Each structure stands twice: as C-alpha cells, then as structure tokens.
Structure 1
C-alpha cells in the first residue's frame, strides 16, 4: 500500500492533549511500519482549525491539505493516513468537501484511532459510531471556543489584555499577557490630542 500522512494541530495547547505534530507523525510512521505500508510523504498544518474554509471558493483553507490534494492529482495513493478524522475536519461542511476531493482521486482515509472508517463503506454500525465520534469532535471544538471567549471577556472586564489588536500608543511584549505604553507611539497620540484641543 502506498500512503501519505497528514498531521494537524490547531493550537499549541493540543500538544498537551496528545495531538502534537511530532506525536502524530510518530504514530503514522509506526503504523506504516507495522502494516508494511510505504509512507510516500507527510503533510502538515500547524496552528490551523479543522473547521476553516474559504467561504468565497468553498475550499478547505489549509496549505498542508491543499498540498495533499496537489500530490494526489499526480501520484497513485491508496490512503491518506491520519491519527483520527478530527485531524482532517472538525465540521460537517469541511468533511463533505474533503470527501468530495478524495473521491475525485479514488483515495480513501485510514484513521489509526478509527480503523473501520472509510469514505466508501456504507456499514450502518460503522456509520453510527463514526458519526458519533465526529459529533463529539464538533462539540469539543465549540466547547473550547466558548470557554476561550468567556475567559477573554472576563479578562477584558477586569481591565486586562485579552488579545487582539493593540491600540496606538501601547504594545504587547512577546511572552507577556499585558499591554504597556509604547513611549514612541504615545508621544504621537499626545500630539494628536493637543492639536485637537486647539
């Protein structure tokens, strides 16, 4: 079997949850060795959500996944091998788009943690189990987003820096979660206010 690997981590925090890129790659290499499969190449997406799409073109907006599709267009591959399907998608629309593209090239998905998964198989039990796992993935993604949003709102309400763009006259030091005055920009802001008073 000729396979290509795909690994994705959407945040630095995923390393703590067992989804670091290095961990996924090790699992893929070990699985190929165990099965006697040829791992042709591995593609990566780091720091990108599994639910991200380009709404204008209705394409999955990930460089590594686009490289997978480009590779499939000119190479014979049996499977795209991944730790689990949540590495490929975290929403129904992305799942549909990936299924469509993989079917175009006659390739299937092999998930290490979901060994019965196939985009071609129509077994009702497998469909139910895999569907439940995907629902749990989507639920987890939405729950994490909600908790992050609440945390940012709380920090902002307490006068802290909650991320995002910093107002002119302030800066964020790398590695710190607080803003401080940028003296160079602050003098510009002061001049603007002085001119406005005139």
Structure 2
C-alpha cells in the first residue's frame, strides 16, 4: 500500500532537539516497512504547533489531499502527537483520513484502528491515551514554568537562549555575586554587537553587515559564520529593546 509520511516539529522542539525530523523520518520508515507499505511522499510542518488544525498546517493539508486524491492510501506518523497535540484536532484529522474508504493511519506502535460502532471501546481507549498524554505534557510544562519563575525571582536568566552579546555563566563558574546565573557580557560578542548596530545605523544592508563581520573575524554565538538572517534577528532584538 502507498502511504505518505508526515513529520512535524514545533518551534520549541526544534530549539531543544535540533534534528527531531530526522528521528521521526527513521521511525516512519520503520513503521511503513513493518506494515508492508511504501512511503511515496513526505510532508512536513516545521516550527508549527500540534494544537493547530490541519487547515493551518500546509504539510498536513498536503498529506490529507494526497489521500483524498488517491495518490496515497494512508498516512504514517511516529506517534499520534505528531498529528495533533489536542484531542479535538487529533480526532478531526483521523476522521478526515478515514473518510477515504480503506485509508490507514500508522504509527511506530502499529496501526490506529478506525472507529467501529460495534466496538465503542476502540475510540474510548484512544481518547484516554490522548488525555493522559496531554496531562503529562501539561505537568511538564508547568514544572518548567515554575522553575523559570523561581530562577527569575532570584535574578537568574530564565527566558530561553541568551541574547547575542551575553551569556549565562555555568553554575561551577559563578562568582559569589552571581550565584543564580544572571547574564554577563561576552567581550568579543559585545564588540561584534556594537559593529552590527553601527553599520545598521549607517544604512548598511543585512548582507553587507554579515560579510563585514565575517571578514573582520566576528563569529556567531555558536562560533559559525554570520548570516544575514542572524544579523536581522540581532538587530530586531536590540532595536526593540531600545
């Protein structure tokens, strides 16, 4: 059977896991092979929340259209939470797939059985699994928020990745007056930051600013070569803050 592989990673997951799509792709391939199916197309939504409906996810919309048009007879995902993070969205997507006769939904745990009026427990059990998964995600999110609030209350940096030009000192390297990890300036990045803002003030383009930084040996916070998109983010953050 021909199936379409669907991959999704949210903005937060991209930041925390980096190559989430690659691991999903491997799991999808394995699930398709185990079921004797062939992946004929890949559709993905990068940086999009699973709480959004299919209409707001171009990749998922394309996958569903392939099934409706007969180009694929099912969809394969690593887990159901790749389809949706909300129960109502999950059920709407499953219903859209099952509108096509004999269409299948596969996960790394096996096929998702379509609803059967003679076996109502199928749907109930699926909903229960989704509810408890949602509860677990909510509890994890709450613990993270509580931790960030506590750290912020003590003067530490708790707003995600540090802005360019600053760093949160690792616990073992913190001085007595910075035990909770408040941001400290990074000398070489501060020099680059001043250079970026100066060039921007004088009307230089993003591309020319990036080229100047590379030529002058100013690295990004990750040590790589500066790109126009990186320059744009730095300028936006600092001009907004100003």
State the SS of the aligned residue for 2:27.
helix
SS of corresponding position for 1:36? coil
- Structure 1 length-normalised TM: 0.68
Higher relative contact order (CA 8 A, sep 6+): 1
Gaps of 5+ in 1: 54-58, 165-170, 190-198
Partner of 1:61: 56
Q: CA RMSD in A?
A: 3.5
More strand per residue? 1
TM-score, normalised relative to structure 2: 0.58
Q: Distance in 2 between matches of 1:114 and 1:47?
A: 26
Shift of 1:172: 0.9
Task: Give the deviation of 1:175 after TM superposition.
Answer: 9.1
1:154: which partner in 2? 150
1:135 paired with 2:131, answer yes
**C-alpha displacement of 1:138:** 0.7
Structure 2, unaligned runs of 5 or more: 169-182, 198-237
Match of 2:173 in 1: none
Aligned counterparts of 1:130 and 1:112: Cα–Cα separation in 2: 15
Q: Displacement, 1:142? A: 1.0
Q: Name the structure where helix makes up a greater proportion of residues.
A: 2
Aligned residues between the structures: 174
Q: State whether residues 90 and 141 of structure 1, in contact with CA within 8 Å, keep that contact through their aligned partners in structure 2.
A: no
Per-residue CA deviations over 1:95-120 (Å, capped at 9, x if unaligned) read: 233134324444331223143x2334
Q: Give the direction of change, closer, same or farther, for the CA distance of 1:121–1:3 in structure 2 (3 Å limit).
A: farther
Secondary structure of 2:43's match? strand
The 3 A distance-change label for structure 1 pair 75 and 175 is: farther
Q: Is the 8 A contact 1:110 1:118 kept in 2?
A: no
Q: Relative to structure 1, is the Cα distance of residues 152 and 2 closer, same or farther in structure 2, using a 3 angstrom cutoff?
A: same
Deviation at 1:14, TM superposition (A): 6.9
1:101 has 2:92 as partner: no
Structure whose CA Rg is larger:
2
Please tell me whether the aligned partners of residues 84 and 114 of structure 1 are also in contact (alpha carbons under 8 angstroms): no
Aligned residue number for residue 168 of structure 1 = none
- 2:44 corresponds to which residue? 44
Per-residue deviation at 1:52? 2.9
The answer to whether 1:87 aligns with 2:82 is yes
Contact 1:172/1:179 (8 A) holds in 2: no
Give the 3 Å change call, closer, same or farther, for CA 158–72 of structure 1 in structure 2. Answer: same
Distance in structure 2 (CA, Å) of the matches to 1:174 and 1:93: 43
The answer on whether the counterparts of 2:5 and 2:77 sit within 8 Å (CA) in structure 1 is yes
SS in 1 for 2:105: strand
Q: What do residues 12-37 of structure 1 show as CA deviations (whole Å, max 9, x unaligned)?
A: 47749xx9322221122123233331
